[in-house]
Chain A
Amino acid sequence: MTGGWGFKTYAILFIAFIYGPVLMLPLFSVNDSNFATFPLAGFTLRHYADLWTQRPILEALGNSVRIAAGVSVLATVVAMPAAIAVTRFRFAGKAPALAFMMLPLVVPSIVMAVALLVIVLRFLGIPLSLWTVAAGHVVVCLPFCLSVLVSRLEGFDASLEEASRDLGCAPMQTFWRLTFPLALPGIISSLLLGFIISFDEFVIAFFLTGTENTLPVYLYSQLRFPNSLPGTLALGSLILIASTLLVVLAEVIRRRGVTSDNPGDI
């Protein structure tokens, strides 16, 4: 490391800024008090123990996990061939098609939510359920899964696939024996990111869920009750820890075995 202490100090302050507020949740979740206030009263895990006795939390958790698992698989399965088309084929209209698939990034989620609400309720007459939430989540996840897969497919040489074809492999054979294993770290990380995005997504779930809650929707319903603050802090901390572990896992898997010249390609 060269150069001024100024930058280093700034970097440390920056990290403190992005982590500081979020770390208040685990801090107060183990504080032996019903309020999130200083001075700290003492260490306790009772707020965590209370969580396991609450059926609504466990049900919401189950719903979220089921949605996130289904969504991440579907988004990745759909994004994979699209990523191959983006990286391995040249054709007119590719850029607009790609732009179309990246669109969910720039449509505010509330607009996406009300648009889905309108078509589901007013045009199709389908009742809201976890299925409608899942449909919205697949589209939210798609740009992220696609980007991860595209960057992974660009990370290795396409001439390997050409060689495989020249040696007489059928396209599907080339895919399963060459592309798939080489892209596997990207696929796993796409699955994990899709899972996290869906698991943490709130706005679309809030608008499109029927009688059943996802975990963020349940959490939101509890935020307004001061009485349930300790439980909310404990539940929130668990969610934060789980997402952090999954993200770090996704990044570590994606980094394995790739030496890329692409800066920032992590």
Chain B
Amino acid sequence: MVEVADTAVRAGLSGPRHPADPARRREARAGYGLMSPALLLMVAVLALPLAALIVLSFWTQSGFTLDRTFTLANYWRLIAPSDREVEWMGLTFRLAYPVPAILIIKSLVMSLTATVAVILLAYPMAYFLAFRVHRNKAAWIILLTVPFWTSYLLRVFSWKVVLGYNGAINSGLMSLGIIDAPLEFLLYNPAAVTITLAHSWVSFIVLPIYVSLEKIDRSMLEAASDLGDSKWKRFRRITLPLSMPGTISAALLVFIPTVGDYVTPELVGGPGGTMIGSLVQQLFTKQNNAPLGAAVSLVMMLIIGAMVLIFLTLIGYWRMRARRAA
């Protein structure tokens, strides 16, 4: 929702520095005092568990015994080379244990595809809402937000009902006589996962984009028209660059959680559509190798973090361009 994106973006901007006079110090103490319950909770339930996960990733598990000597073995296992070649989608992996590397690349590609699809789908809708809807805006906004707040599990499951072997599309087409046998390629593949991910997140992202469009000073658009810009040129030179920072931060809020998504690949992915989240789950349960699972999840977070830094650099770039356009 929009406040969430707004607050998240604001958190990234640092405030002005203040001189250390007593009044300021009192204010700081009061501020931290008020924040302390929330901060303590975050430390106890997020920061400490993540620290525990990091510690565990430097230990090793064999069978039921956990070896607590510090080692990089789990991380080494993820990149250890081997003579054996594994082919996947035209890429050759010379790794002793290629599964995590392949799944991470696959998850990043699927998640990026879903993110791009979400932005392309949501942007025109947000544009329509910002520039063309003048009455009942609130109703439109509620209509667009409600799906995001309904159960994620059920939204994903609904795609199984739609795309399944005995699903709505197959049975519908068969009862209309268009096909004779169910289409098997609809479900249990990366495309089904990507469509479902895009569908799950698209209603979350219209509002942040809408806000960044709504904040654009209309007089700038009028000025562009008065100076002879065509509609398309005006969009390309003013609307698009000015809405880009909001759009990119919206994209981040889709990309980051979807890479590690567990429910969607489990329900609609089948064997071909698994993602990195499923591997983490298996390492922690069936394969009983929590330390390796910890290393895989931390590497995944690091890679996501690195990609987010690239995204944020892009935001900086667009901000600069927007300022120049303004």
Residues of B within 8 A of A196 (CB): 149
* Cross-chain contact A111 with B260 (CB below 8 angstroms): yes
- Interface of A: prevailing SS: helix
* Cross-chain contact A142 with B41 (CB below 8 angstroms): yes
* Cross-chain contact B290 with A102 (CB below 8 angstroms): no
Which of A89, A112, A233 is close to B30, meaning CB atoms less than 8 Å apart? A89
Kindly state the separation between the CA atoms of A211 and B302 in the bound complex, as whole angstroms: 33
Q: Given A92-B17, A103-B46, decide whether A98 and B7 contact each other with a Cβ distance below 8 A.
A: yes
Interface size on A, residues (CB 8 A): 102
Whether A118 sits at the interface, judged by CB under 8 Å, is yes
Kindly state the separation between the CA atoms of A28 and B160 in the bound complex, as whole angstroms: 13
* Cross-chain contact B46 with A107 (CB below 8 angstroms): yes
Using an 8 Å CB-CB cutoff, how does the interface string of B279-309 with A read, 1 for contact, 0 for none? 0110010000010011001001100100010
In the complex, what's the smallest C-beta–C-beta distance from A141 to chain B, in angstroms?
11
Using an 8 Å CB-CB cutoff, how does the interface string of A10-34 with B read, 1 for contact, 0 for none? 1100110111111011001000000
* Cross-chain contact B125 with A14 (CB below 8 angstroms): yes
Kindly state the separation between the CA atoms of A123 and B68 in the bound complex, as whole angstroms: 12
- How many residue pairs, one in A and one in B, have C-beta atoms under 8 Å apart? 323
* Cross-chain contact B56 with A109 (CB below 8 angstroms): no
Whether B259 sits at the interface, judged by CB under 8 Å, is yes
Residues of A within 8 A of B49 (CB): 112, 115-116, 118-119
Q: Which of B88-96, B203-211, B318-326 contacts A (4 or more CB under 8 A)?
A: B203-211
Whether B227 sits at the interface, judged by CB under 8 Å, is no
Kindly state the separation between the CA atoms of A107 and B143 in the bound complex, as whole angstroms: 28
In the complex, what's the smallest C-beta–C-beta distance from A128 to chain B, in angstroms?
13
Within 8 A of B (CB), among A104-157: 104-112, 114-119, 122-123, 135-136, 138-139, 142-144, 146-148, 150-151
- Interface of B: prevailing SS: helix
Residues of A within 8 A of B129 (CB): 11
Whether B161 sits at the interface, judged by CB under 8 Å, is yes
Residues of B within 8 A of A17 (CB): 121, 199, 202
Most buried by A among B141, B158, B170: B158
B-side interface size class: 35 or more
Which of B133, B153, B210, B257 is close to A1, meaning CB atoms less than 8 Å apart? B133
* Cross-chain contact A100 with B42 (CB below 8 angstroms): yes
Kindly state the separation between the CA atoms of A146 and B202 in the bound complex, as whole angstroms: 23
Residues of B within 8 A of A14 (CB): 121, 124-125
Residues of A within 8 A of B257 (CB): 105-106, 108-109
Q: Given A116-B45, A118-B290, decide whether A240 and B150 contact each other with a Cβ distance below 8 A.
A: yes
In the complex, what's the smallest C-beta–C-beta distance from A249 to chain B, in angstroms?
11
Most buried by B among A2, A91, A98, A219: A91
Contacts A/B (CB < 8 Å), 11 sampled: A11-B125, A24-B162, A96-B14, A101-B35, A119-B48, A139-B42, A144-B1, A148-B3, A150-B3, A200-B151, A220-B153
Q: Given A36-B167, A114-B297, A239-B154, decide whether A147 and B132 contact each other with a Cβ distance below 8 A.
A: no
* Cross-chain contact B297 with A90 (CB below 8 angstroms): no
Kindly state the separation between the CA atoms of A185 and B52 in the bound complex, as whole angstroms: 39
Whether A264 sits at the interface, judged by CB under 8 Å, is yes
* Cross-chain contact A81 with B167 (CB below 8 angstroms): no
Most buried by A among B16, B153, B262: B153
Residues of A within 8 A of B152 (CB): 200, 202
**Chain A residue at minimal CB-CB distance from B162:** A21
Residues of B within 8 A of A108 (CB): 256-257, 259-261, 277, 300-301, 304
Kindly state the separation between the CA atoms of A101 and B134 in the bound complex, as whole angstroms: 36
